[in-house]
Amino acid sequence: MANLKLVDKILNRINGHGKGWTFSAKDFSDLGLTESVSRNLRRLAEKGKIVRVFRGIYVYPEYSAFLNEQVPPSPDDIAHAISRIRGETITASGLSALNQLGLSTQVPAIWEYISDGPSREYEWQGGVLKFTHQPNKELSALSSASAVLVQALKALGERNITPEVVQALRRKLTKKEKENAVREARYATAWIYEAVKKIAEEKDGHDA
Span 94-133, pLDDT tens digits: 999 999 999 998 888 899 999 999 999 999 888 899 999 9
* Region at 131 (left for phi over 0; alpha for psi -120 to 50; beta for the rest): beta
pLDDT at res. 21 = 96
pLDDT at res. 202 = 73
161: Cβ contacts below 8 Å, ≥ 6 apart? 153, 191, 195, 198
Per-residue model confidence as pLDDT tens digits over 50-104: 999 999 999 999 988 887 888 889 999 999 999 999 999 999 999 999 999 999 9
For the chain, the domains span 6-71, 75-200
pLDDT at res. 206 = 46
